[in-house]
Amino acid sequence: QQLVARLEAIHRATTQEPQLQAVLGDLAVLAGDTPNLALLLEGVAACVARVVPHQACAIFLTVVGSDEVEAAYVSGQYASLLRGLRIRMGEGAVGHVMDTGQPLVNVSAALDLARRVRPDQNLELTACLCVPLKEGDRTFGAVALYSTTYNFFRPNHARQMMRVAEQAAPLVSLALQFERTRQLVTEDPLTRLPNAQSMLHFLRHQLAESRRREQPFAVVLAVVDGYPEYVRRHGAEEGQRVLSRVAGAIVGQVRDMDFVARYAENEFVVILPHCDETDVGDVVERLRREVMLVTPAPVHPLALRIGAAVYPRDATDVAGLLTATERNLLQTPLSV
C-alpha cells in the first residue's frame, strides 16, 4: 500500500519538466507490485542517463553493521572501476554526501576513485556529481555520476539529479527494506549462503523436477566435526573465520547451477542437479581436497565428514535423502 501511494504521488506531480516526468513515470512502472531492488537500481541509472550525460554511474547504499557504503549498481564505460567500491562515511565525495545529506557538484572524481588505479595509471574520470538518496532526514544512499571532462556538470544537471533522487529514494528504500528482510529470512548472515529453510524449499523443487524428467540428482552433506570444541578453545570469531573459509571452498568447487546452503551451525548441504553416483564421487573428492587447501595451518584437530545421497538410488523423498547423507558420512582429517 505504501508503494502504491508513492507511485500515485509521482503521477500527481505537475511541476516536473516533460522529459523528466516521462523518465520518472518509467521508473514508477519498473517498481511493480513487489519491490525489486536490482530492477529499481537499474531503472534509476537508466533514468539518470536520459537527463544527465556521464561516462560512469554508481548507486551507493549503506552496508548493514558498517560505517561504509557500497556501490550496489554501476554502469557506463568505467563500470569495472566502480564495481564493489566501498567508501567510509565522511570520506571522498560520496562519503561527504552521505554525512551531510547535501549534493556535491564538480568535485574531483579522485576523491572516490584514486585508490582504484595503480600508480602508473591515469584516472581518466575527473568530475563528479553526487546527490543523496534520502527518506525523511535519513540518508541511506547516494547516486554518483563521473565525467572525463573537467567541470562538466552544470547547475541544471544537479537540479535534475536531485529531482530524480527525491522521487526514486522512497521506492529504492522500500525495495531495500524488502531485500534485507528477505535476506534475514532466507540467508545465513555469516556466509551469505542460503539457510536451511531455503535449502528445503530448493530440495523439494529439485525432487519434483527430477521425478518429472526422470533424471538423477545428488545431495551432499559436509560436516565440520570438532567445531564446538574448536570454538571453546579459540573463540567464536576464529570459529566463524573457519566456517567462512569452508563455505568459500565449497562454493568454488561446484557449478553455477548447483545449490549450496548452510544447513546448521557446522553443516553445509550441496544439491547437484543432473548428477549420478559417479559424478557425485568426483565432487566429494574435490571438496575434500579444496577444503584441505584453504585450511592449512594445524591449530586444533578438526575433521571434515562428507556424506552423499543420490536420487532415486538412495531415497525418493526429502527426508529419505537427508537421512541417507547422514548415514553415508565419511570422516576425513581436516587441519585448520
The CATH number linked to 10 is 3.30.450.40
Do 64 and 149 share a domain, yes or no?
yes
**Model pLDDT for residues 172-187, shown as the tens digit of each residue:** 998 888 888 877 788 8
* Cell numbers for 335: 587441519
* Residue 293 forms part of a structural domain: yes
Q: Are 44 and 27 in contact (CB under 8 A)?
A: yes
**Model pLDDT for residues 281-293, shown as the tens digit of each residue:** 999 988 888 877 6
Do 168 and 278 share a domain, yes or no?
no
Longest dimension (CA), the chain: 70
**255-260: long-range contacts (C-beta < 8 A, 24 or more apart)?**
259/194, 259/199, 259/202, 259/206, 260/193, 260/194
- What single-letter DSSP state applies at residue 122? -
Number of domain units in the chain: 2
141: Cα separation from own chain's centroid: 16
The whole-number pLDDT of residue 180 equals: 82
Do 217 and 138 share a domain, yes or no?
no
The whole-number pLDDT of residue 7 equals: 47
Domain boundary among 118, 153, 184: 184
Do 125 and 246 share a domain, yes or no?
no
Domain boundary among 184, 215, 240: 184
Task: For residue 271, give its domain range.
Answer: 196-331
**Model pLDDT for residues 134-157, shown as the tens digit of each residue:** 998 999 999 999 999 999 999 999
Do 48 and 180 share a domain, yes or no?
yes
Domain boundary among 184, 217, 233: 184
pTM comes to: 0.63
The whole-number pLDDT of residue 316 equals: 95
Low-confidence ranges of the chain (pLDDT < 70): 1-35, 293-301, 330-336
Do 179 and 204 share a domain, yes or no?
no
* Residue 191 forms part of a structural domain: no
Do 40 and 147 share a domain, yes or no?
yes
Q: Is the peptide bond before 312 cis (omega within 30 degrees of 0)?
A: yes
The whole-number pLDDT of residue 106 equals: 96
Do 148 and 14 share a domain, yes or no?
yes
How far is it, in rounded angstroms, from Cα 16 to Cα 196?
Answer: 48
The whole-number pLDDT of residue 12 equals: 43
The whole-number pLDDT of residue 10 equals: 44
Residue with cell 526429502: 318
Do 79 and 217 share a domain, yes or no?
no
The whole-number pLDDT of residue 93 equals: 96
The whole-number pLDDT of residue 19 equals: 64
* Residue 336 forms part of a structural domain: no
SS3 115: helix
* Residue 140 forms part of a structural domain: yes
How far is it, in rounded angstroms, from Cα 200 to Cα 99?
Answer: 42
Do 179 and 222 share a domain, yes or no?
no
Do 168 and 227 share a domain, yes or no?
no
Residue with cell 571453546: 232
List the CATH number of the domain containing 226: 3.30.70.270
**Distant-in-sequence, close-in-space partners of 139: CB < 8 Å, separation ≥ 6:** 97, 98, 101, 132, 133
* Residue 190 forms part of a structural domain: no
* Residue 189 forms part of a structural domain: no
54 phi, psi to nearest 5 deg: -170, 165
**Distant-in-sequence, close-in-space partners of 132: CB < 8 Å, separation ≥ 6:** 97, 98, 101, 102, 103, 139, 141, 142, 165
Do 156 and 300 share a domain, yes or no?
no
